[in-house]
Amino acid sequence: MPIKNFLCLILLAAGMLTTPAEAASKQTPAPLVIQEQGSFAVGGTVIPAQKSYDPLHPQAAEQTLRGDHASVFYQKPVNARKYSLVFLHGAGQSSRTWESTPDGREGFQNLFLRRGYSVYLVDQPRRGRAGRSTVSMNVQATPDEQFWFGQFRMGVWPDFFENTQFAKGEKALDQFFRQMTPNTGPYDAHVISDAMTELLSNIGPGILVTHSQGCGPGWITAMKSKNVRGIVAYEPGSGFVFPEEEAPDPIDNTSSFGPLSAGEVPLDQFMALTRIPIVIYYGDNIPAEPVNQPHQDYWRAALRMARLWADAVNRHGGDAVVIHLPEAGLTGNTHFPFSDLNNEKVAEHLANWLHKKGLDLYCHTFCLNNG
């Protein structure tokens, strides 16, 4: 046997060399087979016309305005599981956050389609593709990227954290900042949760996967809708709700947002959160003690509030857990674990939780749509 061929066999056996087919399989994901996909609007309101329309002298009072709806894009794989995953983004983001990662890899949209889940990607009212608002607001072109670099815990500008799971380099950072999008009207958690509730009424039971600012409307949706079968919350930073007279004192931190406070709701409403499994994930580079670094210190307060909130849910008989990813062996994650370099491992952790809670069942022909 020629020496060259002999060395190739040794390298292949040792896993140090890949065949062209193996290399291609690593670079190109396997085909996805989609049974159905589409998009639609849900929720919202209508400003009615006050008088008859005159096409020769059109005036606002003569016309209608539809707005404050959510925009939804969905995909259903062949042989889908029983419960859909309904994704709701956070502040400054749109449903784009769940799609391709800033460095061009598959995001949670595709990763969970491959796991057999139907996925519904929501643009919340007054954001992204749901930008038609019935309430006016000025959109300011204010430079702010260095602030968000820190607030999203990529690092301290201009340096990335040494262990960051964000794809370093100008190209990925450019893609990330270009996926940010502003509010086109005032943020309103109840307007958002109304749209989410109507969505679940239309599609049937599902699992909410929320991020950051979107977690607050997620809790409210679960209190409004009986179709929420579980909640996965990535890095909630606001919108925590406790039973009346049980909210903790605001948690001080050095951020520009000020002390982190929580809201209160009647106990009978809060109890809806105790009837479903809930998991809350936080990434890395969150200090355990107060620090004079405002971006990181804010998330110290948020993680503390999340643990108090989970304790309240469990105290009333619920099933809530907070997972700090470094303690689970996943280090370096930013505020966006689902699009970081290790997002497949983050997805695997979630898939295991869904299995543990019995939320990964397949829906065969005998499965009822409202089950």
- Across 275-281, average pLDDT: 99
**HSE-CB for 33 with a 13 A CA cutoff:** 4
- Largest Cα separation within the chain, whole Å, is 91
Extended strands (E) in 162-275: 206-211, 228-234, 241-243, 263-265
Query: Is residue 180 packed enough to be buried (19+ CB in 10 Å), middle (13-18) or exposed (0-12)?
Result: middle
Run of H or E including 315: helix 294-315
How many angstroms from the chain centroid is the CA of residue 218?
Answer: 10
Q: 353 near 207, Cβ under 8 Å?
A: no
Going from the N-terminus, what domains does the chain have, and what CATH number goes with each? 1-30 (no CATH), 34-356 (3.40.50.1820)
% residues pLDDT > 90 (the chain):
89
pLDDT digit string, tens, across residues 11-21: 333 443 443 33
- Residue 156 pLDDT greater than 90, yes or no: yes
pLDDT digit string, tens, across residues 48-66: 999 999 999 999 999 999 9
CB atoms within 10 A of CB 174: 10
- Across 33-37, average pLDDT: 97
pLDDT for res 9: 38
Q: How confident is the model at residue 327 (pLDDT cuts 50, 70, 90)?
A: very high
Of the candidates 143, 140, 163, the one whose C-alpha atom is nearest the C-alpha of residue 153 is 163
pLDDT for res 14: 41
Checking DSSP bridges between strand 119-123 and strand 65-77, what pairing results, if any?
antiparallel
d(CA 130, CA 191): 12
Three-state secondary-structure class, residue 264 = strand
pLDDT digit string, tens, across residues 196-224: 999 999 999 999 999 999 999 999 999 99
pLDDT digit string, tens, across residues 226-275: 999 999 999 999 999 999 999 999 999 999 999 999 999 999 999 999 99
For the whole prediction, is pTM greater than 0.75? yes
- Across 282-302, average pLDDT: 98
